[in-house]
Amino acid sequence: EAENVPPVIPTPHHYLLSVYRHKIFFVAVIQSEVPPLFVIEFLHRVVDTFQDYFGVCSEVMIKDNVVVVYEVLEEMLDNGFPLATESNILKELIKPPTILRTVVNTITGSTNVGDQLPTGQLSVVPWRRTGVKYTNNEAYFDVIEEIDAIIDKSGSTITAEIQGVIDACVKLTGMPDLTLSFMNPRLLDDVSFHPCVRFKRWESERILSFIPPDGNFRLLSYHVSAQNLVAIPVYIKHNISFRDSSSLGRFEITVGPKQTMGKTVEGVMVTSQMPKGVLNMTLTPSQGTHIFDPVTKLLSWDVGKINPQKLPSLKGSVSLQAGTSKPDENPTINLQFKIQQLAISGLKVNRLDMYGEKYKPFKGIKYMTKAGKFQVRT
């Protein structure tokens, strides 16, 4: 299977480092000792850039934009040394294709290659270009948390951790200097910052102080580890049994909200890989739609919103291959969900201030909690 291909493959003369994304392998061939993480990080950055430029990253897209792809790669790497990997700078060097620009270029014969050295590239703030101007000055921050968890048969948490990020979309004129403070900064003991964040200030005052890049960027990512108590917002009640004697099994799951601080759980999706011995499933959901693929043995149930008064459930029977013994392994249930307006770790932004510019910007902060790798064993 493609996703099980190891990322480092030795050959007699070279090493192949690869990442697998969007069903495409991106491979780097290296001849000498290079830190593999360096290469793999870079490859991921290349994929991110393609996605940023073309909206999607697919074989077709790469073919359709082969010239831009070439030009971008040229800007990103020089003889094995990364050059410009900041999307802000790249976009000044090579303009991303848009339908309008393609039309204009065809008519006027102009190009999508910028002929000016990106201004920010060598300044003290290489991530920001100078001379930015907006009529509506706005700064939005999204606090997004993903819960990775493994829940055991009896419903108790084996491990749970939160991967959080603060993504920003900042469209501010000039050289704004922002500070962002939290109600409970103590939660953030394991953080990775965008280079723009002044680390010293954080160390001493637990305040994020930075000159933001222009546009979209990830301000920081953080990790709330398994040792802190992580609230689990949903639970699954399950009763899945395969009996030895008969070729029929029982299947019943119910999803319910747990610690949601009164917010609605939505976008719920349940998937589960059934054992090989399962031939088919006859199920009735109380809401949503479900599909069982008898070839891949994948059951997926698109639940939608959870109404706490009427818990969604999926019940029915499982038909097993006759004559074989019952499957040894019990299926693991994978859960996806979203909760708006909630950061499950409890992280809250206190205030956002701007210095260095005169105008009053429009500010906004949104919270969201999602399931990451959320697995329930049965």
Partner 1 sequence: MTDSKYFTTTKKGEIFELKAELNSDKKEKKKEAVKKVIASMTVGKDVSALFPDVVNCMQTDNLELKKLVYLYLMNYAKSQPDMAIMAVNTFVKDCEDPNPLIRALAVRTMGCIRVDKITEYLCEPLRKCLKDEDPYVRKTAAVCVAKLHDINAQLVEDQGFLDTLKDLISDSNPMVVANAVAALSEIAESHPSSNLLDLNPQSINKLLTALNECTEWGQIFILDCLANYMPKDDREAQSICERVTPRLSHANSAVVLSAVKVLMKFMEMLSKDLDYYGTLLKKLAPPLVTLLSAEPELQYVALRNINLIVQKRPEILKHEMKVFFVKYNDPIYVKLEKLDIMIRLASQANIAQVLAELKEYATEVDVDFVRKAVRAIGRCAIKVEQSAERCVSTLLDLIQTKVNYVVQEAIVVIKDIFRKYPNKYESVIATLCENLDSLDEPEARAAMIWIVGEYAERIDNADELLESFLEGFHDESTQVQLQLLTAIVKLFLKKPTETQELVQQVLSLATQVADTPGLRARGYIYWRLLSTDPVAAKEVVLAEKPLISEETDLIEPTLLDELICYIGTLASVYHKPPSAFVEGSRGVVHKSLPPRTGSSESAESPDAAPSGVQATEQPAVIPTQGDLLGDLLTLDLGPPVSGPPIATSSVQMGAVDLLGGGLDSLVCLEDSAAASHSPGDGDCAHCVSVAVKCFWSTNLPGWRAPKGSFWEKLQGFLVSLTQVWLPAMKAKGLEISGTFSRQVGSISMDLVLTNKALQVMSDFAIQFNRNSFGLAPAAPLQVHAPLAPNQSVEISLPLNTVGSVMKMDPLNNLQVAVKNNIDVFYFSTLYPLHILFVEDGKMERQMFLATWKDIPNENEAQFQIKDCSLNADAVSSKLQGSNIFTIAKRNVEGQDMLYQSLKLTNGIWVLAELRIQPSNPSFTV
Does the footprint of partner 1 cover residue 156 (CB under 8 A)? no
Does the footprint of partner 1 cover residue 10 (CB under 8 A)? yes
Structure tokens at 106: 């065809």
Strand 15-21 relative to strand 8-10, pairing: antiparallel
How many CA atoms lie within 13 Å of 109's alpha carbon, on the beta-carbon side? 0
Return the C-alpha torsion angle 74, 192, 349, 354, nearest 10. -50
- Total residues at the site for partner 1 (CB under 8 A)? 90
Does the footprint of partner 1 cover residue 203 (CB under 8 A)? yes
Altogether, the residues listed in the chain come to a count of 378
Q: Which of 24, 27, 150, 169 binds partner 1 (CB under 8 A)?
A: 150
Looking at the Cβ atoms of 20 and 134, the one nearer to partner 1 is: 20
Does the footprint of partner 1 cover residue 375 (CB under 8 A)? yes
Phi-psi region of 281 (alpha: psi -120 to 50; beta: other; left: phi over 0): beta
Which residues, listed in sequence order, are joined to residue 354 by a DSSP beta bridge?
Answer: 178
Does the footprint of partner 1 cover residue 221 (CB under 8 A)? yes
Looking at the Cβ atoms of 224 and 314, the one nearer to partner 1 is: 224
Does the footprint of partner 1 cover residue 135 (CB under 8 A)? no
* Least distance CB 230 / partner 1 (angstroms): 11
Terminal Cα distance for the chain, rounded: 25
Site for partner 1 in 94-113 (CB under 8 A): 102, 106, 109, 111-113
* Least distance CB 136 / partner 1 (angstroms): 29
Does the footprint of partner 1 cover residue 163 (CB under 8 A)? yes
Structure tokens at 70: 């070439």
Rounded Cα distance, 339 and 344, in Å: 9
Binding window for partner 1 (CB under 8 A); candidates: 81-89, 133-141, 207-215, 246-254: 81-89
Q: Which of 100, 122, 229, 322 binds partner 1 (CB under 8 A)?
A: 122
Does the footprint of partner 1 cover residue 31 (CB under 8 A)? yes
Binding window for partner 1 (CB under 8 A); candidates: 132-140, 169-177, 217-225, 280-288: 217-225
Residue closest to 249 by CA, chosen among 216, 294, 223, 280: 280
One-letter amino acid at 143 equals V
Does the footprint of partner 1 cover residue 55 (CB under 8 A)? no
Looking at the Cβ atoms of 63 and 310, the one nearer to partner 1 is: 63
Site for partner 1 in 244-273 (CB under 8 A): 273
One-letter amino acid at 198 equals R
Residue closest to 366 by CA, chosen among 343, 344, 336: 343
